[in-house]
Structure 1
Amino acid sequence: MTGRRDADAELRARLRRAAGAHEPDRARILARVERGMAAGDGGTGHPRPARALPGWARVAGATVAVAGVLVAGGSLAASTVGEDPPAPRSVAAPPEAREPGPREPGSREPGPLWSAGAVDPHSNEFWAQSNITLRTSAPLTALTVELRVAQTGSVTSTGAWRSLPEADFTFTAGERDGFLVYRWTLKPGRTVPAGEWMFAGQYNHERGGRDARGDRYSATATAASGRHSVEGGFTPREGG
């Protein structure tokens, strides 16, 4: 039995090597198959005389064996190199800078600036805050923002603030030509980065609702593309 197992193992090893060849030598495989068929023993440990077979049977059997080897080799190669390509992956494009919607109030001229003015919703019958929203799509190397609150009666400043660093600006507030004027000026050597920023002026006024239709704001800036400016009025607070 040992001799037969050895012969069978040798035959299988030879068939595997033949199947792995890129261009199998059919004549050599046919000869190896015939030799393997004749190498079996009868379980006695001695080679068994080969049974005489008609020539056509030997040729047919060997041909079938060779065909099986070639098919197995082709299947092995296909399983090795015929993997499906990975599914395509979609790549999201980076989001573009948001532009104001068609109903969003504000002022925009050609350039990087956009702005809007509104009376803060937390204003009350004695006190109010006017907000200026400034949006820039490019860094600014110079900027002046001015808020003009019309003197409608007892309008006096109670403070001001901005969302950018206080140390980057020079600030003044005072009455001029019938307005309470707040002004923020960017200091030399400072830069306003691209983004959305707020400037706000706070003030007392006579009791009751105040009409802000006479209030105005403006902003003048310098960017790499040149000098730009925006201006506008103020949207009243709800219920004001």
Structure 2
Amino acid sequence: MDETRLRGELREAALAHRPDRARMLARVERGMAAPPPRRDRTPGRAPWAGRRWAATAAVAATVAGVAVLGGLAVTTLQGRPPAPAATGLAAPGPAARAAGTVDAGSNRWWAQSDLALTTDGEVTGLTVELRVALTGGIVTTGHWQTRPADDFTVTVGEEPGALVYRWTLKAGRTVPAGPHTFAAQYNHAEGVRDASADAYTVVLTGRDGGRTTLRGGFA
């Protein structure tokens, strides 16, 4: 067979060949899994050593990545602010009840707003505020309370939309258990006055620091 014909047949055979990809991959995997052949020490790196080096590098990179992520997680946790210390619940405030009414002695030109306060125990702090809406002709004519006048600091003044009466228990004084009354007196425009916009606020403090706030109206 001459050389020209031989080359032609080889070329046709090469073009007709279809490699088995699955078998090739299987052989490569078996080669990677097989133990390296024993060789005498020779200069340079054997082919299997290159594969082993690549696998080792991949494992090292994975471990390094895990270590970095772990370090990041630790840093993040350590960087968080400490959780607030558990604290006890606030002491309950003094038990008390309040009701606001317009005194039956009020008339077409003058009125009195009464706040009836009942405390179930001793109170060491007390502020009572009565707000009389400025419905027309509102002018203060006085105030009073059933507790001793020297026990309280009392102020009366106009604030936006209301004439405000405020009683504040002085430091060192106490209010015992029982019913107590605080009254605000004032003139108003002639006629039956609408008290639906009037309001009161009472803040009571016990010896243990507990606080109670009561709110209501005079309608």
Same fold (TM over 0.5): yes
C-alpha RMSD of the superposition: 1.4
Structure 2 residue runs without a partner (length 5+): 1-91
Q: What is the deviation of 1:201?
A: 0.1
- Contact 1:113/1:229 (<8 A) preserved: no
1:19-68: CA deviations, max 9, x gaps? xxxxxxxxxxxxxxxxxxxxxxxxxxxxxxxxxxxxxxxxxxxxxxxxxx
Name the structure 1 match of 2:101: 118
2:156 maps to which of 173, 198, 202: 173
TM-score by length of 1: 0.52
Higher relative contact order (CA 8 A, sep 6+): 2
Name the structure 2 match of 1:231: 215
The 3-state SS of whatever aligns with 1:203 is strand
**Distance of 2:93 and 2:102 partners within structure 1:** 26
- Residues 170 and 111 from structure 1, CA distance in 2 versus in 1: closer, same or farther, beyond 3 angstroms? closer
Identity of aligned residues (%): 53
The 3-state SS of whatever aligns with 2:121 is coil
Q: What is the deviation of 1:223?
A: 1.0
What is the correspondence of 1:1-12 to structure 2 with a 5 Å cutoff?
none
Name the structure 2 match of 1:43: none
Structure 1 residue runs without a partner (length 5+): 1-108, 236-240
1:135-173: CA deviations, max 9, x gaps? 000100000000000000010000000000000000000
Matched, 1:191 2:169: no
The 3-state SS of whatever aligns with 1:212 is coil
Q: What is the deviation of 1:110?
A: 7.1
Q: What is the deviation of 1:190?
A: 0.2
- Residues 110 and 141 from structure 1, CA distance in 2 versus in 1: closer, same or farther, beyond 3 angstroms? closer
- Contact 2:93/2:206 (<8 A) preserved: no
TM-score by length of 2: 0.56
The 3-state SS of whatever aligns with 2:150 is helix
The 3-state SS of whatever aligns with 1:224 is coil
